[in-house]
């Protein structure tokens, strides 16, 4: 096999082996004969394979985080919440397929899927993103990661990629099932391929924005419970404020301001930026979004929020790693 460094054949460890009580004069004698602080090779097998380097370490961390977000490799109890929420996300797709098969009518619209299921997505984000970051902060194991080739940026990128992939899975699977169902049932008229593609692009937007916001907020506290509460509180605040504001503005007949008010909700923000703005589908919010400059503002806001979250994360981890 490979060339092993020849080692002195010490039968039972080092000088202080059990069953070999040192005589009173022995230590002084050994100091003369052998150098101080010898590291004995006690025969563990050496690693002889290739070193995969930084990118592989980052990818491994991302895959490990993604598995952990869904509870794979954790206890059975940790799997209940993510898989139950995933099953609820599938429900509208299954019901829509049933409606299409039995009544020959379309059920849930593709671009409105995420906005319609926003409470479920928000609960998933709130319950799982603290898992992705809080334990490492709480048990102060960050230096162990950083003693590898992984840098802070890699670590943050891996966690963000894992969370984004989890949300993308949560959205893309039901959307694709719904589309395949539509193709198989073969409704009269052309299949809504462009709507499906728009909703998949929107799913990427939702995944990146929600993951950045969720992981950034979760990283601010090492306590999982507080992280969960903060994320859901901010989501409920945004959606509540946007609903109240829009209803108020509509009651005083200011429909332009009502359109802006919907954009306070991050789900409608992505809907306005990607679905309505880029692909020109129907808005998922109860009212219309502001047109023209509103689309540009929504796109800028989405990108700005993502950049802000990533900046917060990098700063947070710089501080956490230096402790």
Partner 1 sequence: MNGVIAGISYRALLGRRRIWLLALLPVVLLGLAVLLRAVGADGERATVQLLQNFAIGVMLPLLGLIAGTGVIAPEIDDGTIIHLLAKPISRPVIAQTKFLVAASVVAAFATVPTFLAAYLLVGLESGVAAGFALGALIGGVAYAAVFMLLGVVTRHAVTVGIAYAVIWEGLVGNLVPGARRFSIQQWAQTVADQISSSAFLTTGIGLGFAATALAVVTVGGVVWAGQRLRSFSLTGDE
Per the structure block, which two tokens stand in for 11? 């039968």
230 part of the interface to partner 1, by CB under 8 A:
yes
Torsion over CA: 63, 64, 69, 70 (sign):
positive
65 part of the interface to partner 1, by CB under 8 A:
no
Supply the minimum distance, in Å, between the C-beta of residue 87 and partner 1.
Answer: 13
Contact partners, residue 244, CB within 8 Å, separation at least 6:
none
* Tokens 């979004």, located at residue: 289
Per the structure block, which two tokens stand in for 312? 């917060």
Nearer to partner 1, 238 or 306 (CB): 238
Dihedral in degrees, nearest 10, Cα atoms 96, 101, 102, 103: 70
* Spacing of C-alpha 73 from chain mean position: 16
216 part of the interface to partner 1, by CB under 8 A:
no
Instruction: Provide the H-helix boundaries in the chain.
Output: 26-33, 53-69, 76-103, 113-116, 118-138, 142-146, 152-185, 193-219, 224-251, 255-262, 266-270, 279, 293-322
* Spacing of C-alpha 189 from chain mean position: 38
Among the candidate windows 160-168, 196-204, 241-249, 291-299, which touches partner 1 by CB under 8 A? 241-249
242 part of the interface to partner 1, by CB under 8 A:
no
Nearer to partner 1, 26 or 237 (CB): 237
64 part of the interface to partner 1, by CB under 8 A:
no
Nearer to partner 1, 148 or 316 (CB): 316
Q: Which of 209, 163, 164 is nearest to 69 (CA)?
A: 163
Supply the minimum distance, in Å, between the C-beta of residue 123 and partner 1.
Answer: 6
- Residues 84-103 binding partner 1 (CB under 8 A) are 88
81 part of the interface to partner 1, by CB under 8 A:
yes
237 part of the interface to partner 1, by CB under 8 A:
yes
- Residues 107-166 binding partner 1 (CB under 8 A) are 119-120, 122-123, 126-127
79 part of the interface to partner 1, by CB under 8 A:
no
Which residues contribute to the site for partner 1 (CB under 8 A)?
74-75, 77-78, 81, 88, 119-120, 122-123, 126-127, 220-221, 223-226, 228-230, 232-233, 236-237, 240-241, 243-245, 247-249, 251-252, 254
């Amino acid at each position: 096999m490979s060339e092993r460094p020849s080692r002195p054949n010490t039968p039972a460890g080092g000088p202080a082996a059990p069953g070999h009580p040192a005589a009173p004069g022995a230590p002084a004698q050994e100091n003369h004969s052998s150098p101080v602080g010898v590291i004995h090779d006690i025969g563990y097998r050496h690693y002889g394979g290739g070193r995969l380097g930084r990118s592989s370490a980052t990818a491994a961390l991302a895959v490990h985080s993604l598995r952990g977000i869904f509870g794979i490799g954790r206890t059975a109890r940790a799997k209940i919440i993510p898989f139950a929420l995933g099953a609820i996300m599938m429900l509208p797709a299954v019901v829509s397929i049933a409606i299409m098969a039995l009544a020959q009518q379309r059920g849930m619209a593709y671009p409105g899927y995420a906005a319609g299921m926003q409470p479920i997505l928000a609960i998933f984000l709130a319950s799982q993103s603290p898992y992705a970051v809080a334990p490492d902060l709480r048990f102060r194991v960050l230096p162990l990661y950083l003693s590898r080739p992984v840098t802070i940026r890699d670590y943050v990128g891996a966690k963000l990629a894992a969370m984004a992939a989890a949300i993308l899975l949560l959205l893309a699977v039901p959307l694709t099932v719904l589309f395949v169902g539509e193709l198989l049932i073969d409704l009269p008229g052309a299949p809504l391929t462009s709507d499906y593609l728009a909703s998949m692009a929107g799913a990427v937007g939702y995944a990146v924005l929600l993951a950045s916001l969720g992981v950034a907020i979760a990283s601010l506290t090492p306590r999982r419970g507080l992280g969960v509460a903060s994320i859901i509180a901010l989501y409920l605040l945004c959606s509540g404020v946007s609903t109240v504001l829009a209803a108020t503005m509509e009651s005083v007949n200011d429909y332009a301001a009502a359109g802006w008010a919907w954009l306070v909700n991050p789900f409608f923000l992505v809907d306005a930026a990607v679905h309505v703005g880029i692909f020109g589908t129907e808005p998922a919010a109860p009212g219309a979004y502001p047109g023209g400059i509103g689309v540009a503002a929504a796109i800028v806001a989405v990108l700005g929020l993502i950049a802000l979250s990533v900046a917060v994360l990098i700063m947070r981890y710089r501080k956490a790693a230096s402790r």
